[in-house]
Structure 1
Amino acid sequence: MHHQFLAHLTHQRRLSEHTVAAYANDLKQFAAWCLGEHEIATTSAVTRDHVKGWLASLMASGLAAASIRRKLSSLKAFYNYQQSRGLQQENPTLRIPIPKLSRRLPVAVAEKDIKRLFDSFPDPLTNDHFPLLRDHLLLALLYQCGMRRAELIGLKQTDVDLNHRRLSVLGKGDKQRLVPFGPKLAELLECYNELRAGTFQEEEVAALLLTDRGKRMYPKYVYNKVTEYLKDFSTEEKKSPHVLRHTFATHLLSEGADLNAVKELLGHANLAATQLYTHNNIKRLQEVYRQAHPEGKEPDDS
């Protein structure tokens, strides 16, 4: 039964391989718990009390609220699917209290640190070392275009429009969006394309970014590259590719960019996701106010 549901997620809902794997893992965990705790082996025998018991056991194990919410969301999606196909009468996931999230603000790298990171690369016009130029481009695309890791990996050579200086990015749910870029990134892309063509004449790979051996990149490869560079230039604890996406959004908003425009650039489905970045901006404005406004300064203790 799970297999039909997972196929539905892949083909009808067009979810990514990574997301479908997360759903599959959540359902597998729940099935194992039901069997181990209650000797239940069929989906129709599950009740609301079983679902609540599972969530309580996850909380007791110290799992984060965000992860528990996701697991409940996987169960809800599965039982909604079962009901819509007439395979289930009662939906055991209805009216289940959802664990509250503690709001975690997006982590961003400071502008001075980002500048130091990119200043550490040689001039692309004189850089003929493929791995170094490729790393430069990889980081620049994440920071200057705010892409997700999967979007970066999926970027094809044909998605780059150097004449109009824009990228065609395939986002979540197969939604296409156009992201503009500046002259410095255009120059970097031109240098990379030229060096790539000279380095890998034999094999034609559609993907824009290649590994040192001319193959398509994979998620762990991108993650390792970003963490390797950020560890020398960022004091933030988190150093994932997503941090550069957060940094892109935070820096745009701090320079006065319109929230709706940033939402479109990020490919967010709704404004609530983008609004999280305004909290970072408000913190920065509060700091400016405290330092600069005559009435904003803290009282002197002396």
Structure 2
Amino acid sequence: MQSNVEAFIDYLQLQKNYSLHTVKAYLADVHEFELFTKEHFDQEVIDSVVYAQIRSWIVSLVDAGLSSSSVNRKISSLKSYFKFLLRIKQIEKSPLLKHKALKSPKKIQIPFSEREIDLVLNQISYPEGFEGIRDKLIIDLFYTTGIRKAELISLKLSSIDYGSTTLKVVGKRNKDRIVPLLPIVLEQFNRYFSERNLLPQIKDSNYLFLTKKGVKLNDTFVYRLINLYFSAISEKVKKSPHILRHTFATHMLNNGADLNSVKELLGHSSLASTQVYTHSSLSELKKVYQDAHPRNN
């Protein structure tokens, strides 16, 4: 007979369409709590736990040095599990019903400046051949489309539509969206394909971006690629694909794009998600305000 945890995994994969990475994270958090209750309360099954036991786990996580955001993520996984148990009528009330998330200090995501983007795309040297062309294209694609790291890795050859100059992106929960491609990026794709076709072997032939060994990219590879090139031109602490996504949104807003358009391009389900980028545009907004308002003489 299938356990509730196994049924929960199926629910996340088949009904919620969560990625394998997300499902693994949820499962790891639930298993971690299971081990805690077994060790501290001699309780094998977590379906009947009370909030005091969860609170005890939270205290142990904080004492172990976990950040508030990490603890909140683990509790979010548990909350989803108990919501699932409610859904299948295994429990009548979630023990996390009145739980309040730990307060986390807001992390300010500092985007790259337009000058830094210009430096990394037009001033620094890239390796000759396939790898250099691929690396520059990846950076430019992140900056000109705002796609996520996982979305870039999962791109297929069929994702590009040269006729409409667009890219089909598979976002969170397998939700598709179409993003436009700039002519300068399409030109880089042409050069990339010329070099890609010369690779001695290609294993993952359906995937758009490959290593020189012909296999699809992974998370660590892409993160290190971005970090490597931006470390040459920027002293910012955070240099990651997500900061490039943040930079895309910020520069779009700074240059007159409306919030709804940026929301659609980013693949956000609500404006609330997109509004986190507006604070970066505040300095630009202040400048426009001060230049335009008649009272500011």
TM-score clears 0.5 = yes
More divergent stretch after superposition (81-90 vs 173-182): 81-90
Matched, 1:136 2:146: no
CA shift, 1:11, in A, is: 1.6
Whether the 8 Å contact between 1:134 and 1:192 is mirrored in structure 2 is: yes
Which amino acid in 2 is paired with 1:102?
Answer: P
Which structure 2 residue ranges, 5 or more long, are not aligned? none
Matched, 1:5 2:8: yes
Which amino acid in 2 is paired with 1:257?
Answer: A
Change (3 A) 1:200 1:147: farther
Given candidates 77, 97, 101, the residue that maps to 1:98 is 101
CA shift, 1:102, in A, is: 2.6
Given candidates 76, 80, 100, the residue that maps to 2:83 is 80
More divergent stretch after superposition (245-254 vs 280-289): 280-289
User: Secondary structure of the residue that 2:109 maps to in structure 1?
Assistant: coil
Number of aligned residue pairs? 294
Whether the 8 Å contact between 2:202 and 2:214 is mirrored in structure 1 is: no
More divergent stretch after superposition (24-33 vs 151-160): 24-33
Alpha-carbon distance in 1 for matches of 2:238, 2:179: 25
CA shift, 1:4, in A, is: 2.0
Whether the 8 Å contact between 2:159 and 2:169 is mirrored in structure 1 is: yes
Which amino acid in 1 is paired with 2:37?
Answer: C
Alpha-carbon distance in 1 for matches of 2:24, 2:123: 38
Whether the 8 Å contact between 1:155 and 1:169 is mirrored in structure 2 is: yes
Alignment of 1:169-248 (within 5 A): 169-200=169-200, 205-248=205-248
Matched, 1:54 2:57: yes
The RMSD of aligned alpha carbons is: 2.4
More divergent stretch after superposition (174-183 vs 186-195): 186-195
More divergent stretch after superposition (193-202 vs 87-96): 193-202
Which amino acid in 2 is paired with 1:207?
Answer: Y
Matched, 1:259 2:259: yes
Taking only the aligned residue pairs, the percentage that are identical comes to 35
Change (3 A) 1:113 1:202: closer
More divergent stretch after superposition (54-63 vs 39-48): 54-63
CA shift, 1:57, in A, is: 2.7
TM-score, normalised with respect to structure 2:
0.91
CA shift, 1:98, in A, is: 1.6
Match of 2:112 in 1: 109
Whether the 8 Å contact between 2:226 and 2:241 is mirrored in structure 1 is: yes
Change (3 A) 1:121 1:191: farther
Alpha-carbon distance in 2 for matches of 1:46, 1:229: 49
More divergent stretch after superposition (100-109 vs 213-222): 100-109
Alpha-carbon distance in 2 for matches of 1:291, 1:27: 54
Whether the 8 Å contact between 1:156 and 1:208 is mirrored in structure 2 is: yes
Alpha-carbon distance in 2 for matches of 1:291, 1:57: 53
Change (3 A) 1:283 1:26: farther
Match of 1:300 in 2: none
